[in-house]
Amino acid sequence: MDGLAAADDDALRAVLAGEAAGAVLEGDNLAVLRALPDASVDLCYADPPFATGRTQRLSSIRTGSGEQTRRGFGERKYRYEVVSDLAYADELPLADHLAALRERVVEIRRVLAPHGSLYLHCDWRTTHHVRLLLDDVFGPERFLNELVWAYDYGGRPRDRWPRKHDTIQWYAKGDDWRFERDAIDRVPYLAPGLVGPEKAARGKLPTDVWWMTIVPPASAERTGYPTQKPVRLLERIVAASSRPGDLVLDPYAGSGTTGVAAARLGRRWLLVDRNPDAVEIARARLAAVDPAP
Ligand SMILES: C[S@@+](CC[C@H](N)C(=O)[O-])C[C@H]1O[C@@H](n2cnc3c(N)ncnc32)[C@H](O)[C@@H]1O
């Protein structure tokens, strides 16, 4: 396939042929997207940088050992060491960011199967631009949902409502898309007393507002990669919009969350990231996943 190194080319061919469960490729996603055949992908989840204008960095420290010291509660001094310091670039000015995204969204649409769909994850900084961009490339009639992922973590400003949600725009390639209702996890009714015990016990299909925690800082799921998304969020998307054996693409893979969800649910996965740290983390995570029975 044009524009790819031989090893990536082999890995890509094996995934497309169903001979490998998945691949994590390092490089610019545009080159990989351009190398993919038309209609070869069943589902794409894309979580590009949010146009914050600065490097996204996450440092984790271990206290009790190390050469460096800090002052903590009660002015007590304690030792610490930095155990991981990971970052990715997000400095592009908005217009450049959107131009780069448009190029990739055009390719994503081309590589989606007729029943395929795209979930594009953004936040308040870009969601209004991204919606118009997607209307333009996919057509406004292909808009399916604007999902709100609501969480509650971190600081709270004193002068406005805390911004505690991301937006995920969902668009279909054609007029027939995958929505596997019965495979979707159910959530509790807000007023279970109003629906009777049987329905209350089953729970309901989530609406377009999803309350889910971020990956907790001390959890085993945490990789240390900045802006890592929860596997549970991706499992809901993969379960709803693909079937076992389908190919799931994540061109902005980061720590590989989409691949983990896809592997657990018996889908094939193709992950791309230009950051070598992301690729290393995603490969290690995927090597540790127990595939679906
Ligand atoms: C918001 S993070 C993705 C986080 C991921 N969803 C997770 O759960 O860890 C965005 C990622 O896109 C990658 N990226 C940005 N532009 C890219 C490009 N043109 N090609 C490949 N990767 C890119 C960055 O290196 C970064 O890892």
Which domains are assigned to the chain? 6-54+90-287 (3.40.50.150), 58-89 (no CATH)
Q: Is 45 in the pocket of ligand 1 (CB under 6 A)?
A: no
Whose Cα sits closest to atom 18 in ligand 1?
Answer: 28
Residue 70 to residue 230: CA distance in whole angstroms: 31
* Residue identifier of the C-alpha nearest atom 19 of ligand 1: 28
Cα distances (angstroms) measured from residue 148 to each of 121, 165, 210, 256, 260: 10, 6, 6, 21, 22
Ligand 1 and 272: CB distance under 6 A: yes
CA atoms of 21 and 284, how far apart (whole Å): 15
pLDDT tens track of the chain, all 293 residues?
667 888 899 999 999 999 999 999 999 999 999 999 999 999 999 999 977 778 888 887 666 777 777 676 667 777 767 778 888 877 788 999 999 999 999 999 999 999 999 999 999 999 999 999 999 999 999 999 999 999 988 889 999 999 999 999 999 999 999 999 999 999 999 999 999 999 999 999 999 999 999 999 889 999 999 999 999 999 999 999 999 999 999 999 999 999 999 999 999 999 999 999 999 999 999 999 986 76
* Closest CA to ligand 1's atom 25: 275
Residues in Cβ contact with 290 at an 8 Å cutoff, skipping those fewer than 6 apart? 264
Of 54, 252, 270, the residue with max ligand 1 atoms within 8 A of its CB, to mutate for a pocket test, comes to: 252
Cα 18 → chain centroid: 23
- Label each residue of 13-26 as H, E or C: HHHHCCCCCEEEEE
